[in-house]
Structure 1
Amino acid sequence: MTETLAQRLGAVLKPLLGFALLLLVWEYGAPLAGIPPYVLPLPSAIGQRFAETFSVQMHGLAMTAFTTLAGLALALVVGVLLALLIIYVPVLGSIVTPLLAAFNSIPKIAIAPLFVIWFGLGYESKVLLAFLLALFPIFVNSVTGLGEIEADLIDLSTLAGGSKWRIFTKVRLMNAVPYITDAVKVAFPLALVGSIVGEFIGGNSGIGHLILSGQFNLDTPLVFATLLSITLFTTLGIGAVSLFENAFLTWRPSQRKR
């Protein structure tokens, strides 16, 4: 147990030490290299600006978080339902999958102005952009998790007297949950990007609007401070998914090794 604790502490301390070293090099190396503060502000200046604008950033981040999580939740529901549709009606797979793949290849920033025209400057356009960016990875992983089950396992469950619903909930869905949680880790930052892009194109609030404000005012430390807020929010979101895995997916081989 002591060895495991030491390994976990080492896994945490090593990245922190590396990050601290990077900040030191940045803090003292940038002035020596002659880089102007308006191009690359020092970490101390960014930290100070972060503290000065903390309440404003949290207010903007709360709005961005709402559209991000709403779009992610919508993508989770629609992605899993589409995957189920393909699993149980295989003929639709040759239609739905190429359409989603083709639509996913379109740069979302290109259609963001259309969403602003169609749905206005409110939450709707941001939620839809977050939904579109998060949908494809959730759909693909859901199809894999729900579909790639050994036939012998299904047959054994049927012979054991399991109903179709029980086999679905206890076998097929449980097999898919790790795939879905992995997809959420990828889709969460993408949904956040979608929300921020929507705020760039047509928004008067949110963390994206704050980034534009810092850009227009040549307030580079503010831009970096907002990027710090976004990074912390993304880390917390992915960390929450990891906590869910540790708590409810203890049967997963990758969780047993920890």
Structure 2
Amino acid sequence: MVNQAEPLAMAGAFVEDAEAQARFLARKRYLAWRRRLLPVAAVLLFLLLWWQAVERFDIKPFIAPSPVAVAHVLAERFDILMANLVPTAIEAVLGFVLGNFAAMSLATAFVWRKTMEEALFPIAVMVNTIPVVAKAPILVLLLGNGMEPKIAIAAIICFFPTLVNMTRGLRDVRPEQLELMRVLSATSWEVFWRIRVPNALPYLFSALKIAASTAVIGAIVGEWIGSTQGIGALIIQSTYNFDSPLLYATIVVGSTFSALFFGVISIAERYMLRWNVTHNA
């Protein structure tokens, strides 16, 4: 005799699975929208509190302008702000590329030659401990007053975090992975590209996201030392002229570029790590 309860039980289970999946998707959409909206809401709340503080306490514009005044300057002097952003962006990006390339190359050398790490890593630590404001005048004297010292400062700031993270990522490999590659008679280069480099990618991108922000800071600090253009130079000029709205607008432009740079690296991280997992699978 055919049991009539079994098809009904299967249909009920199917309905429950469909409902559970629908609830899961709805929860996932809710979390995605919350991640997008919460930062926007926080920024709007901050701007509202800032505006109210300026209005209620009657703060003078040269001390702290209102967000409305800053927005007015952003719209009115947009061309000037963008013209000064371009050299800063070039210096930051070139410094980011050069500094991280040098750090990754040296980290690779450290993995291959332990004696090189023992000899050069203390020097890298000492250079990193020198304040940026002390490095900038030295590099200006050595490289001149053009874009070169700003690029060098941005590169030096990016260099050390990437060197440390990349070295750790290349070394932090599970012994069983190395043993498997030995069993398979893999060469040193195969071990490096198939095991060490994929393992180092999460460490590397953590450092690159930090470097994306610090490279902009390095370029701006470099422009404080003898520069007539760029975000750093515009900050100095607006400070000396007590042009507080322009100062705040310049800071907003520099911070926005830094955030966009960080976002680009984050997108590249998601793509590369997903590709790496798929490729290895």
Give the distance between the partners of 2:179 and 2:230, measured in 1 at CA.
51
Q: SS at 1:218's partner residue?
A: coil
- Quote the offset at 1:242 in angstroms: 1.1
Number of equivalences: 253
Aligned residue number for residue 22 of structure 2: none
Is 2:54 the counterpart of 1:3?
A: no
Instruction: Identify the match of residue 246 of structure 2 among 219, 222, 231.
Output: 222
TM-score by length of 1: 0.93
Report the AA paired with residue 118 of structure 2.
Answer: S
1:206 to 220, 224, 230: 230
Q: In the alignment, what sits opposite 2:197?
A: 173
Q: Does 1:91 align with 2:115?
A: yes
1:24 aligned to 2:58? no
In structure 2, distance between residues paired with 1:245 and 1:189: 15
Cα deviation, 1:70-98, whole Å, max 9, x if unaligned, reads: 11111111101111111111122222111
* Distance (Å, rounded) in 1 between the aligned partners of 2:140 and 2:266: 34
User: RMSD value over aligned CA atoms?
Assistant: 1.5
Unaligned runs of 5+ in 1: 254-258
Unaligned runs of 5+ in 2: 1-24
Correspondence for 1:55: 79
Q: Which residue of 2 aligns with 1:45?
A: 69
**What letter matches 2:131 in structure 1?**
P
Aligned pairs for 1:109-148 (under 5 A) are 109-148=133-172
Mapped to 2, the partners of 1:247 and 1:189 lie a distance apart of: 20
Q: Is the 8 A contact 2:198 2:276 kept in 1?
A: no
Once superposed, which parts of structure 1, at least 4 consecutive aligned residues long, lie more than 4 Å away?
A: none
1:2-32 deviations in Å (ceiling 9; x for gaps): 2212101111211211221111111122221
Aligned-pair CA distance for 1:251: 6.8
Residues 1:241 and 2:241 are matched in the alignment? no
Deviation at 1:163, TM superposition (A): 3.1
Which structure has the larger Rg over C-alpha atoms? Answer: 2
Percent of aligned pairs with the same amino acid: 31
Q: CA deviation at 1:166?
A: 2.4
Q: TM-score scaled to structure 2, two decimals?
A: 0.86
Corresponding position: 1:66 with 2:90 = yes
Task: Indicate the residue corresponding to 1:256 in structure 2.
Answer: none
Q: Larger relative CO (CA 8 A, sep 6+): 1 or 2?
A: 1
